[in-house]
Structure 1
């Protein structure tokens, strides 16, 4: 909330809307403000709790630890360790959910994926999700791990949060994710994580249930009188399950599905499976494997096949259309998914999404290797990859219909596409939600034998990366995509990965690497005899040189582009090059030449129907007039550009135009109007995030100078502000 100022020389009675304030009689000047952090959303990310059997000792130990940290006024950190399937997460969830009334700032949750097929989650990725959960707009999430840690600690310093870091692999993975302030953090892991001791961690090791508690859990699962009627068999069964809650529940689910079956039958079947299941080798939990395998053997054949094929899915969770895709239209996927849920082999991840417990996922994958022919496994993997590629491509078309999408190639059989929505924002949300799965497919594609999917999927993610700035994934996706394109010998694909990936490097601040990639693309285009492709790289290379401060070299490349691109049939790209050239020459003080380039670019872009870049050309023209003290002309062009950009939510360019209007007002002596414009520009730059941090700081400083009475205006026209979203990106 902005501070509101109420002043009255007489009695004033009323209500201020925002955070509601009811006033009675008010005299004199009153300033009412609130901390902006108060408006940040409270995330409630913890999965729902489940019923816990006999963990009172561990629960009381956790509560004693928390009470001690309250007295000592320090954060509470506890590590819950134990075998897979022993109930670590169940215990942690029960404890943390009871704390909700005491921690109103919210709950954060992350699956750190120690057992994930593609390796544990990176701390910087988790921090990015946490920051967005705490209300940081995607564009404002910093790029580096160090910057994300700093912002995370700043945001959590005065908040009372509950954090669950599930399935951690090492203390080093956990440490960057610990909040500041007096929050409570629980970490679950199969290892004891002794390295967290130096951070004040309290260890709680969870052992399998004793027989009495395990029998109680079996009775709770069955919800009938069989345990009471067959107590000895029930005890033998839970002993065969090694007291692990996962195994007991799976065995109980199978019995619950057959009310007429005696527990003795399950005991006999489970005992017979123990030796044969050694081959599965899931962390030495032999009896868990036996229970899972027995459950698998009693599935109807179509459900068993779906279970096997879903075990090949590379990501942490999946939506229902994935099941349709792997079945290739055979069978009722929704009913088969329900069957797997009823057998406790799938967990509900919300919104028609599903996930495996990590042990169950390993079991399903092992069954796929054992029971599915190699060719069918390859086909299923390709159907999963095609599902994500087709769905991402559809989202790309909705978000950016003018993007020059390269051809897609799919494997045999029907391609199932998810419904990502017809609204660009909804499609962006779908891409962001599925990003972990999309990245897992990209990383898997070469080894799985379909490298083209890797670079095509990276290409389809272009609108997400451009708008929401997931720089870590942007760079990783295009690095893998480039390797896939080169492995396939596809020069066109390699050039696309180099140029699109280079734009990501520019946004991440790696200007030298970006220039290197653009020059590599130019070399490939030249070797292929592609004059148009090579001419387009002139713009990219010029932008990299501009960011590196090598303005003369940048101007030289932009000048070449204005000549070579029209000769190759791309007048729009030539207009963008002229626009970039005008920006560079204005930075060197050549305002009349800059105005000439801006006019030419605006006419060409207007003719091409490019509203966004036409507005950018108008901004450049306004800045050129402003540099010549032609305030009326400058105001006209900047106002026209701002009106056009408001409909496009182009915050960076809107801010740039608004700063120009602020300078005009300031130099005309209209200080109040100048302050209003600088304030609006500051808010717009801030919404863009890290890529506009320099401009935001400049607007903040100028606003402060105006409020303190300083009168010398900064000349915006003397400050070349290369656009946050590179104009060269439009060429794709």
Structure 2
């Protein structure tokens, strides 16, 4: 967060402070936002009052969401902060990466307000506003937040604001302020009394700024009588008179008196600081004054003690009050070397920026030190470009702008780019026409005298007027492109092209044509893009520029991809990859691999997509590009989950159904907006299973969805969720289904809200702004309440539902009366004879049986299975498996004879026959798979179920797959509900409970890591269900439930899977209490507290933690007692109650010290460091973090030690 400045000496203002406290205090407000505005003349103490009120409010715990602070610099025309820039600062403070900050005021306002709407109460402090227009865009729209504004004007046009007009201090308050400041240096200093200081405060106009300065004079000279200082002030007032820029004669008198008490070196630096382009300065002050850094630091510290500058942020930087800066500017006119000082400063900035250019580093990336320096100096560097140009040094303006560009682009600071590069372009053009430093610059007008132009001429010759212009034009083109101002970008690149041709520079011509092609692609003028890229490709090949050639081939592949010419895309990407491999260019290899994966995904080739993305991941890991590593990992995870969990599942053989498939496709394409398509099963006399199970509804829906997606009908994607509506034990609630759908839409777990209504609102709002989406809801129950929350309400989206129920559940009530007519129903019966034969032939051909092995029985199989797809697949799979054996003829005949004995071809009977033909191991695997709680299962978990090796488990699963009793989906295995129900009835004796215990043991061991592997990420819902099933379902393995919950807890909390936590943790708590396991009870109470803390339910969390702490104290468990106090400290910190948190951690530290537990002691030391850092106790924070480093090293937790050491290093910086 953009935090508050520290509190300075503060006295008086009791009434104003109470008024602000009343306005900031939480209450039920009817107004949209509570706004307080503090107005008063310069130097009257507006910011000091606001900062004090803000610190008090934060300490009271009123703003757990944090504080946003910005100095709007409203009265400085050159440095005034626009609402766009302020919003950019706030958004980054709220955690928005720079590349995701929208362009334009409207987009930033909307994102800012939406983020605040989701956040705990925040205090927004807007200092130094000059007009209501600077303030309005920064106002939240929630009554939970508060806004505090300071201004020299009474901002009466801020509707609803509580206005506080701040006048000068009362005499008694003014005397108290001076006395407090003097005693801060020497507590026994009693020179200040109402009698001795009466004229002193009057001569200072009772203004806090002036009073602070004279107090600093007295503090610095303990022997000086107050009367002597009064006499000096009286003389200064008489001599100086009224100043045009100031508000008080006393103010200027105080400034002048304090200034004349400075040493010559201090006074000179004070004057020169007015030349600094930025608002604050640190190390660069040495260049400004032409002295060593150590000397500059001493001088700045002396100025701070004299209150002629203020402490800045970070530590070691200093800034000037507006009035003192004006005073210093006036004094700067006395300096004959002011011009040279400014040139030294600007040259220092240019040289330092150039030294941080990442192109000069081995990795080609910014180091941490460089980024820290840029982040601190960025506002000053932006101003320095304009200053250099105004004072007649376009050479320095151009140097700075070009050197800064790498950082500006890296941080995507497009607002700053639009300020810097137009100035740089003008500077380049000026360099092309005349030497830099020619007389008549703004600096000459300001302080007198022209600058020496020799350096500017050398730079001008080196850059060449048109060369420098070309370099800036290229950057301006990129900025416009990134801001999606494509017309401006095209214009800049066309001008860049013209300059390149004028210079005869074919490399620049190639770059210009290349960039023009990219603009054409971005505006979807793909034919022009292809033409431009072709021209650039020829130029790069003539130049022998292999890197440029690689990039163009890559772009041509992307154009082909955009035009859906996927074969051409693969060809171009292949050429680009070959060049990149030839030249050892790992970065370009990674980019090509990433895009080839995208093409493969669009072609529905999931395996190829995973292969390419895995290759790209390895290469980005090699490059150390953490952002791209995260991006590719997300793609892989989404692809895997899309295949297995949230996306379309793989299904068995799909044949026939042509007429229904065409009708469904027609409904998906042409149905009215938001229409639903319902596929139901129809009972036939040949099927004696539950409802219409096994008729192929899911297979039809998935096939229709895949075809529609491949045809490009749903550019927004396909969302699939399995509702299991007819299984009361496994039915998916709307809340859980919405959680899966939101994750599939890219919402991170921590952003998924609690509660059905909030999830529905977020889901529908995301779909409202998304391209056309197909939502597939598989296995819906007859209850419309399971489906209704999952329906989009606006846009051209489509919904495809499968269900066993053909009633009115999916009519007008579910879809809304206005769209009831948009619902289409398709009854799906058994296959016709030809379709059934086609399905049998397909299964047999892929079974490995000899050609024609099943010809004699295929027709009979169709009739025996009642043309039911599931029964046909299983029966044909069994025939195919047996036909591959040595005694194929006899085995097949025996199988068919067994099938003839099944009454009416019932699916259950066919499953029985197939089961009985399995070997012992495969039959046992099928039985025990029914113990698995559902969802996909991996080979490792299946091995645990049967108590075999993974190799043996893989063999048994392959047998079941060949007989079509299970399906393989991207390395995981699924099975039909009918198969599961049938196998569940075959479990013998205690083998189910024993298998579940082995599965629990497997998951407990697998979860004993900080980061889940890919298999566990996919199986996580099944792991949660396994823990739940271990607790009940007739197994009675409550100890297993506790063990597995203990391993799961951290992973679930980190992923913010609150739905799973809400189901599992109460069960674990009950199990612990029934078992009398006090340690487990304490752990589960802590887990419940962690969930409540994560959900910002602070009182609930406190209740759980206090109960756990009480249990530990009862049993004498000092470790649990320490953890409990730390948990309560975490709640206090989250609520902003830092003194209470400090007390909790200190008490915990007293318990743990000397007990030989360096890990716990290190964690507590680190937390105390965080609190000290928050309270700006830098030395204390450094000590705590250093102590944590040693303790972590002692505990062999080296990664934590390195993290703590980095915190120490940052404090030193």
Q: Does 1:391 align with 2:352?
A: yes
Q: Which residue is 1:255 aligned to?
A: 218
Q: Output the CA distance in 2 between the equivalents of 1:68 and 1:572.
A: 60
Asked if residue 268 in structure 1 is aligned to residue 243 in structure 2, the reply is no
Equivalent in the alignment of 1:692 = none
CA distance 1:316–1:674, shift in 2 (3 Å): farther
Determine the structure 1 residue equivalent to 2:152.
190
The CA distance in 2 between the partners of 1:478 and 1:266, in whole Å, is: 51
Q: 1:245 to 1:544 in 2, by over 3 A?
A: same
Deviates more, 1:447-456 or 1:671-680: 671-680
Cα gap change, 1:132/1:557 in structure 2, threshold over 3 Å: closer, same or farther? same
Of 701-710 and 478-487, deviating more is 701-710
For residue 344 of structure 1, report the CA deviation from its aligned partner. Answer: 0.9
Deviation at 1:64, TM superposition (A): 4.2
Q: Are positions 1:669 and 2:733 aligned together? A: no
Q: Distance in 2 between matches of 1:238 and 1:284?
A: 16
Give the structure 1 partner of residue 568 of structure 2. Answer: 593
**Is the aligned partner of 1:352 residue 2:422?**
no
Contact 1:662 1:678 in 2 (8 A): no
The answer to whether 1:486 aligns with 2:434 is: no
- Of 271, 290, 295 in structure 2, the residue corresponding to residue 328 of structure 1 is 290
Deviation at 1:669, TM superposition (A): 2.0
Specify the alignment match of 2:386 in structure 1: 443
Residue number in structure 2 paired with 1:570? 545
Deviation at 1:466, TM superposition (A): 2.8
Q: Work out the CA distance in 1 between the residues paired with 2:96 and 2:50.
A: 27
TM value normalised by structure 1: 0.80
| Separation in structure 2 between the aligned mates of residue 69 and residue 107 of structure 1, nearest angstrom | 18
- Out of 307, 330, 334, the position equivalent to 1:366 is 330
Work out whether residues 191 and 225 of structure 2, in 8 Å CA contact, stay in contact via their aligned partners in 1: no
Residue by residue, what CA displacement relative to the aligned partner does 1:166-221 show, whole Å, maximum 9, x if unpaired? 1111100011111222222111111111111x2x1011111111222212222222
Give the match for residue 557 of structure 1: 532
Partner of 2:559: 584
Partner of 2:162: 202
The more displaced of 380-389 and 122-131 is: 380-389
Q: Quote the offset at 1:507 in angstroms.
A: 1.3
Paired with 1:431 and 1:111, the residues of 2 have a C-alpha distance of: 19
Residue 124 of structure 2: which of 132, 138, 163 is its match? Answer: 163
Give the drift of 1:351.
Answer: 1.9
Shift of 1:446: 0.7
- Evaluate the alpha carbon distance shift between residue 501 and residue 677 of structure 1 in structure 2; reply closer, same or farther with a 3 A threshold: farther
- Tell me what 1:294 maps to: 257
List aligned pairs for 1:65-84, cutoff 5 A.
Answer: 65-66=23-24, 70=28, 72=30, 75-84=33-42
Alignment of 1:230-245 (within 5 A): 231-245=194-208
Inter-partner Cα distance in structure 1 for 2:504 and 2:246: 56
**How many angstroms does 1:86 deviate by?**
0.8
Deviations 1:578-626 (A, max 9, x none): 1111211232233333222212211222333332222222234445556
Gaps of 5+ in 1: 1-42, 404-421, 688-695, 713-732
TM normalised by structure 2 equals 0.49
CA distance in 2, matches of 1:484, 1:254: 45
Compared CA separation, residues 205 and 102, structure 1 to 2 (3 A): same
The alignment partner of 1:176 has SS state of helix
Do the aligned partners of 2:172 and 2:194 also contact (CA within 8 Å) in 1?
no
Cα 1:667–1:162 change in 2 (3 A) is closer
Runs (4 or more) in structure 1 with deviation over 4 Å come to 64-74, 224-233, 398-403, 622-635, 651-668, 670-681, 696-704, 706-712
Cα distance in 2 for partners of 1:192, 1:152 equals 26
Structure 1 counterpart SS, 2:74: coil
Q: Deviations over 1:139-161 (max 9, x none)?
A: 22212211111111112225311
Question: Whole-Å Cα distance in 1 between the matches of residues 418 and 139 of structure 2?
Answer: 26
Cα 1:399–1:277 change in 2 (3 A) is farther
Written as runs of structure 1 = structure 2, the 5 A alignment for 1:639-654 is 639-646=614-621, 647-648=624-625, 649-650=627-628
Structure 2, unaligned runs of 5 or more = 433-464, 652-701, 703-717, 722-739, 752-765, 780-798, 802-1213
Stretch deviating more after TM superposition (618-627 or 121-130): 618-627
Could you tell me whether the CA contact under 8 Å between 1:325 and 1:387 is conserved in 2? yes
> Counterparts of 1:341 and 1:84 in 2: how far apart (Å)?
19
1:98 counterpart = 2:91 = no
State whether residues 154 and 163 of structure 2, in contact with CA within 8 Å, keep that contact through their aligned partners in structure 1: yes
Deviations 1:538-575 (A, max 9, x none): 11110011111111111111111111112123221121
Q: 1:455 to 1:707 in 2, by over 3 A?
A: farther
Q: 1:704/1:682 Cα in 2 relative to 1: closer, same or farther (>3 Å)?
A: farther
Count of aligned residue pairs for this structure pair: 638
Is the CA contact 1:642–1:657 (under 8 Å) kept in the aligned structure 2?
A: no
| Contact 1:218–1:227 under 8 Å retained in 2 | no
- Greater CA deviation, 501-510 or 64-73? 64-73
CA deviation string 1:634-672 (max 9, x = no partner): 543333123323542226666677777788886882899
Which one has a bigger Cα radius of gyration? 2
1:682 alignment partner in structure 2: 746
Instruction: Assess if the C-alpha contact under 8 Å between 2:517 and 2:530 holds in 1.
Output: yes
